[in-house]
Structure 1
Amino acid sequence: MNHAVESAELPAFIAVGAGEQSRQIAVRARTGHPPGLFWLGGFNSDMKGTKALALDAWAAERGRACVRFDYSGHGESGGRFVDGTISRWLEESVAVFRQFCGGPQVVIGSSMGGWMALLLARELLRQPAEATLAGLVLIAPAPDFTEELMWKGFSAEIRREIEANGVWMRPSEYGEPYPITKVLIEDGRNHLLLGGAITVGCPVRILQGAQDPDVPWQHA
């Protein structure tokens, strides 16, 4: 809690990971009343996205605590996007939650952030933190997306390229193509949640659009 600042204009930075794996993670922590809000963004998104900024503005108007950050390789954080994995981004999520949050928290996860929120809840059940989960809000949650929404949906040609070259540059409607790596796909298989009970220890609310082009409502 001592990291939190009144102004959300300039990020704080914390180091996550050891040795060559260390990366600088940018965090914006707004002090305020509980329960605090903890934002987990989507794949290839950042804490200056429209949903993250709307959440921060809502918290500011109501005097609520709010923490948001960028995964490594995203936004203002260090590291390369091409090196990103679910394991790395989960490690960063847990580290930021433990260092910046105290008391009850409502965790809001969007797309990949919904997967991260569920994995964070599981980690907190294993090793409790000073902060506790008051609830989860999952916006178009995409658990297991590396397997269910990427690998299983890729053509044989794309799969061969990933297997042979270790990476495929995926076209994007929002800008430059971005890398989908073999390491990302393989690491994602270590964190799959669907197909069994997911214990989170708190209430859950899911917000899902019926016409979402990236995460079908059937997946949520």
Structure 2
Amino acid sequence: MPFGQIEAIAHNGLRLAYERQTGARPTFVWCGGFKSDMTGTKAQALAEWARTRGQGFVRFDYSGHGQSDGAFTEGTIGAWTDDTLAILDQVTEGPLVLVGSSMGGWISLLAGRARPKRVAGLLLIAPAADFTERLMWASFPQEVKREIEETGRWERPSAYDPEPYVITRQLIEDGRRHLLMDAPIPCTGPVRILQGGLDPDVPAAHAEALAKLIQSPDLRFDLILDGDHRLSRPEDIDRLISVANELADKLAP
């Protein structure tokens, strides 16, 4: 699948890389996952969908991810949300649908709260809202918590990367300043959630609890019983594209 021309904006002294497809509104914006980038299977499929349909689409890399500048270990939820808002403000126009995968689901909700007049809809895939606290810290053994608190970091083995994910004290502490799941989450536009029933990273119960907090007049939660965390099988991609088509039609001017 061809990859388009990479552009960049300057933000907080760093270069944030993005790819933009101009087209019909609303513009769809891909918000990727933790230590992921904009060349992943789902992002590529949506980029091709946008080209074929003539839909506006933007995908980008957070600082410390992919083709953007910065060190991953210096990143936090707040910083990556700030990156997202910079892309929304400087690269896009008009109404938006944020497509958030895993951590990107949390960031999409935060960005929607920060830009409620711009974000017309949300498409969340295995949304890992509050994951630093509810899915990481709450499950860490005491010795891991102690290592993070005393040394400032812990190298967590990853099922998706041969290199471990470095979990920093800064990531955990900053995450606590951006928690969403302790109160209702207002959303004025349609919200679609795709969740795998066999997801080992974001349990279905976590996504279901999040869905119950989202106050949208048009919310649908799709549980894919045999789906994993990535939801990147051909049938998962077909479902993703179907939902994107639905939201594009629903929110067309």
Q: Same fold by TM (over 0.5)?
A: yes
Structure 2 equivalent of residue 3 of structure 1:
none
1:56, CA displacement in angstroms?
A: 0.5
Cα distance in 2 for partners of 1:141, 1:157 equals 28
TM-score of the pair, normalised by structure 1: 0.90
Instruction: Please provide the CA RMSD for this pair.
Output: 1.2
Counterpart residue number, 1:189: 176
Unpaired runs of 5+ in structure 2?
208-253
Cα shift at 1:8: 5.5
Match of 1:124 among 110, 115, 120: 115
Query: Is the Cα–Cα contact under 8 Å of residues 109 and 137 in structure 1 kept in the other structure?
Result: yes
1:103 aligns with 2:94: yes
Shift of 1:213: 1.3
Asked if structure 2 preserves the Cα contact closer than 8 Å seen for 1:121 and 1:201, the reply is no
Partner of 1:178: 165
1:27 to 13, 18, 22: 18
Equivalent residue for 1:81?
72
How is 1:114-153 mapped onto 2 (pairs within 5 angstroms)?
Answer: 114-125=105-116, 128=117, 132-153=118-139
Superposed CA deviations along residues 93-149 of structure 1, whole A, max 9, x for unmatched, are: 001011111122111100000000100011013xx5xxx222101100011000000
CA positional deviation for 1:23: 1.5
Aligned length, in residue pairs: 205
Q: CA deviation at 1:195?
A: 2.3
Letter in 1 for 2:8: F
Name the % identity: 54
Whole-angstrom CA distance in 1 between matches of 2:70 and 2:48: 28
Return the match for 1:169 from 129, 145, 155: 155
* Mapped pair 1:36 → 2:23: no
Q: Determine the structure 1 residue equivalent to 2:144.
A: 158
Q: What displacement does 1:202 show?
A: 1.3
**Aligned AA (1:209):** G
Q: Which amino acid aligns with 2:7?
A: A
| CA deviation after TM superposition for structure 1 residue 34, in Å | 1.2
Specify the code of the residue in structure 1 equivalent to 2:26: P
Q: 1:12 aligns with which of 7, 26, 35?
A: 7
SS of the equivalent of 1:180 reads: strand
Three-state SS of the structure 1 residue aligned to 2:157 is strand
2:115 is matched by which residue type in structure 1?
Answer: L
Match of 2:217 in 1: none
Q: Relative to structure 2, which stretch is displaced further, 74-83 or 197-206?
A: 197-206
Tell me the residue number matched to 1:57.
48
CA distance, structure 1, for counterparts of residue 168 and residue 112 of structure 2: 26
Q: Are 1:213 and 2:200 matched, yes or no?
A: yes
- Say which is worse superposed, 96-105 or 161-170, in terms of deviation: 96-105
| Pairing partner for 1:45 from 33, 36, 42 | 36
Question: Structure 2-normalised TM-score?
Answer: 0.79
Distance apart, 1:173 and its partner CA: 1.8
